[in-house]
Amino acid sequence: MDFPVSAFPHLTALATTKNIEYAEAVQGKVQGEVPNWLNGSWYRNGPGVVHFREESVKHWFDGMALARKFCIEDGKVSYMSRLVDGESLQKNTAAGRVVVAEFGTTTHSEGFLGRVKSALTMPEFTDNCLINFMNLGDHLFAITESNFIRQIDPVTLDTKDKVDLAKHLPINIMSSHPLVDGEGNVYTFSSSIFNMGRTKYNLLKFTAAAPGTPLETILSQSESICSIDSSWRVSPSYHHSFAMSEKYAVFVEMPLKIDIPKMAVAHLRHMCYSDCIEVLEDTKTRIYLVNKETGKQHPITFLCDPLIVYHHVNAYDDGDHVVLDLSCYKKNSFYDKFTMSNLEKTPQEFSKLFDSDEQAVKAMRIVLPLANDSKTTGNLVSVANTSCTAEFQGNNIFCTSEMLSVGTECAVINNKYIGKKYKYFYSPGGLKLPPGEMLTKIDVETKQRVQTWQEKGCWASQPVFVAKPGATQEDEGILMSSVVNENGNPFLLMLDAKSFTEVARIHFDANIPPDVHGVFVPKA
């Protein structure tokens, strides 16, 4: 098997000898032609510092957040980046090691007094907001999976205030993939631990806000519109993302449980938070629907075989059904792919560790019928072009799935089709290697890979689709990806999303490391 790179750029680009911050914009050299209608800022987030003076993090997702921005205007493109200057970065840098607990890296108290302090206090939660960005009105935030978010200046990328969302909403853990509906309302799910006697999943809504609306006004108008009891009294399921159709928000309670009692004492036992996540291999996955307008939970719980989901693709209403597409694993291999010890391996060595079918990511479809009469027998699915089934088992409905594609993680779609019936999604790969070895276009109707971009020596970020103004077809627009090139300068790749023909690549005299997620903000 031929591999695109000789070493993973997740680590080579973050070597201590490499510069990662560019406070002054670096102008790109355009090869090709940037469409004149494409104007805006693409904000990307991800690890920037993984090495401290005395130790390194153990997991790539524990690296200190680096905010990046590609600014596209009048055919020109610039790049800038700044570390998110939060308390976690400041304390870790001062100590020369990790002293604020992260997801996959333990902290160690120093001496007797340090151990006494740890025994008497709860662990300090990180404000290392490295996973994604979220817009509330015209306020930009770097976010992670906790209640803490960090405001970022959209022009300079300067770090501004830390905001504790738990002061406004029931949040201990928050999905890091908020979704925006057609009216501009922002939705996400949170977990609130032992809320009124039981841990709950909460559908949160931030009402659309006009430019110039003060942040305090936006937060004061935010609300939890529905709460769902966890299957476990104290512990929640891990949830990184969710899906929503035009009518419903879809929450997947997977058998990946966060053991809260164990987490509460993790700092005393020199455990990291990932040590507190338990895979329940024999527990069925539970799927809940929430009516976004009424805030009521659908009376039927849907069940399916155990699956692990980090990223949803989309969901949409189809008659009396909700169609749900998501990227699934049978094992928790997505997290394992990003340990520092695994990323230090060659791609050849790495691929041998993730070679089984159970470790492969597959885009799967599940159809959720809205029937609520448990006396109904037989297959309840009546939508066209699917082999999915759903039948009552007692008061629940058990669903089977069908595969749309294999090796497609971190999928994105044309955002105008969020919650609507759609035809295409785009992915940076992820079969054996981490996502990034290629860019692909999947037709969910034919269940075929219809386009692929791959280049020797190149590693592509999760792409973003930007629709052409006035477009009449779903795939009419530009697909962009930040590409690390081990044979030269990194570049921003622009593809015609319909044909995958290269429109432009913009080279930068800068070090642009691999990232995680981001958001495109069109120029007003």
Question: Which residue positions form the known binding site?
Answer: 177, 240, 311, 517
Whose tokens are 């002293």? That residue is 99
Distance between CA atoms of residues 113 and 119, nearest Å: 10
In the chain, the N- to C-terminal Cα span, in Å, equals: 46
Residues linked to residue 367 through DSSP beta bridges, in sequence order? 323
Instruction: State the Cα–Cα distance between residues 468 and 43, nearest whole angstrom.
Output: 19
Under DSSP, is residue 373 helix (H, G, I), strand (E, B) or coil? coil
Residue 325: partners with Cβ closer than 8 Å, 6 or more residues away: 243, 312, 313, 314, 315, 363, 364, 365, 404, 425, 444
Helix H or strand E encompassing 402: strand 396-406
| Angle, vertex CA 31, rays to CA 513 and CA 475, nearest 5 | 80
Which residues line the annotated binding site for Fe cation?
177, 240, 311, 517
- Three-state secondary structure readout of 248-282: EEEEEECCEEECHHHHHCCCCCCCCHHHHEEECCC
CA distances from 36 to 131, 253, 495, 520 (A): 30, 44, 14, 16
Residue ranges of E strands in 407-516: 424-427, 439-443, 448-453, 458-460, 464-467, 477-485, 491-496, 502-507
* Structural contact between residues 311 and 326, judged by C-beta atoms closer than 8 angstroms: yes
Cβ atoms of residues 300 and 280 within 8 Å:
no
DSSP-assigned beta bridge partners for residue 82: 67
Residue 28: closest CA among 458, 482, 383, 509: 509
- Quote the DSSP letter at residue 212: T
- By CB atoms closer than 10 A (0-12, 13-18, 19+), residue 219 is middle
Q: How far apart are CA 362 and CA 198, in angstroms?
A: 33
Q: Quick check: helix, strand or coil at residue 335?
A: helix
How far apart CA 359 and CA 344 sit, in angstroms, is 19
Asked whether the beta carbons of 523 and 40 are under 8 A apart, the reply is: yes
Altogether, the residues listed in the chain come to a count of: 524
